[in-house]
């Protein structure tokens, strides 16, 4: 849950810095004639093509400064970049991930980034942060699930690969947080879970698919089944801590 709380805080920070950025741009519009030439700072938002500026204004609030250490998965993660191809990454940036905090950035999705800006972001994420050969010839599970998976087999695989850190039934343990919590499951997509299980979150100490049990990498099917078990734990109305009686006690007296 810490991550979610951190996430809310960082979203607020991102909004503040976006506002600051907008104010900066607006104040630059009034430059009188004869003043210094247009510089990078006075570019219109849709003309910015510098990766650092684009990433910090649009992505860093959730994915972290320099692509790691945020609430959302690190993009500066060579294992992630070895399993997700450019087309996949580009599509997520264009459309976002429905039902999660990942917004769509393309103008066609109501965002503010041009196709050219999205190309720069996609290309530079790989150019700066991938490490060819990082998988050392290991054959990772596919990025996309090939089937719906079996929750019962997934529960058994959970015990083998995850319980030592995330605790019995995913309720949290000494080395990993709760991952069957109703609010967590409501905010993460099935693919988001799959991505984290395969790529891990190295910056937080979460192992990739090879590292849960020493010498026993997870198979593609096991990853699919664990995701099926986790998503079978979603509830219809998440985030409702109060029973009906409790809730009544919290109402304003008439």
For residue 32, the minimal CB distance to ligand HEC (Å) is 34
Considering beta carbons, is residue 23 or 109 the nearer one to ligand HEC? 109
Tell me how many residues contact ligand HEC (CB under 6 A): 47
Residue of the chain from 25, 28, 43, 101 that contacts ligand HEC (CB under 6 A): 101
For residue 31, the minimal CB distance to ligand HEC (Å) is 28
For residue 94, the minimal CB distance to ligand HEC (Å) is 10
Residue 237 to residue 1: CA distance in whole angstroms: 18
In Å, what is the CA distance from 151 to each residue of 2, 49, 140, 212, 232? 27, 45, 21, 19, 7
Residue 129 to residue 189: CA distance in whole angstroms: 24
10 Å CB burial of residue 35 (0-12, 13-18, 19+) is exposed
Residue 125 to residue 109: CA distance in whole angstroms: 21
For the four alpha carbons of 139, 205, 86 and 220, in that order, the dihedral sign comes to positive
Contact between 94 and ligand HEC by CB under 6 A: the answer reads no
Residue 61 to residue 70: CA distance in whole angstroms: 7
212 CB-near residues (< 8 Å, 6+ apart): 160, 161, 162, 164, 218
Considering beta carbons, is residue 62 or 82 the nearer one to ligand HEC? 62
Considering beta carbons, is residue 25 or 172 the nearer one to ligand HEC? 172
**Which residues from 32-91 bind ligand HEC, rule CB under 6 A?**
58-59, 61-63, 72-73, 75, 84, 89
Residue of the chain from 140, 161, 180, 224 that contacts ligand HEC (CB under 6 A): 161
Site for ligand HEC, rule CB under 6 A: 3, 11, 14, 58-59, 61-63, 72-73, 75, 84, 89, 92-93, 97, 100-103, 105, 121, 161-162, 164-166, 175-177, 179, 184, 188-189, 191-193, 195-197, 201, 204-207, 212, 226
């Amino acid at each position: 849950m810490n991550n979610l709380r951190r996430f809310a805080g960082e979203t607020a920070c991102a909004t503040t810095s976006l506002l600051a950025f907008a104010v900066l741009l607006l104040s630059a519009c009034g430059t009188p004639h004869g003043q210094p030439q247009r510089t990078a700072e006075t570019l219109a938002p849709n003309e910015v093509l510098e990766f650092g500026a684009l990433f910090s204004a649009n992505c860093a609030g959730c994915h972290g400064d320099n692509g790691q250490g945020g609430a959302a998965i690190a993009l500066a993660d060579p294992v992630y970049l070895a399993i997700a191809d450019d087309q996949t990454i580009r599509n997520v940036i264009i459309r976002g991930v429905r039902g999660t905090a990942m917004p769509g950035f393309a103008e066609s999705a109501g965002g503010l980034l041009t196709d050219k800006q999205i190309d720069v972001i996609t290309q530079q994420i790989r150019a700066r942060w991938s490490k060819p050969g990082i998988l050392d010839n290991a054959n990772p599970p596919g990025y996309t699930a090939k089937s719906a998976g079996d929750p019962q087999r997934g529960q058994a695989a959970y015990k083998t690969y995850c319980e030592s850190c995330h605790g019995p039934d995913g309720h949290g343990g000494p080395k990993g947080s709760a991952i069957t919590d109703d609010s967590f499951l409501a905010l993460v997509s099935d693919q988001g879970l799959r991505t984290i299980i395969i790529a891990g979150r190295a910056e937080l100490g979460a192992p990739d698919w090879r590292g849960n049990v020493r010498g026993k990498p997870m198979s593609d099917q096991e990853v699919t089944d664990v995701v099926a078990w986790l998503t079978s734990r979603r509830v219809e109305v998440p985030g409702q801590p109060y029973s009906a009686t409790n809730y009544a006690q919290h109402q304003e007296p008439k």
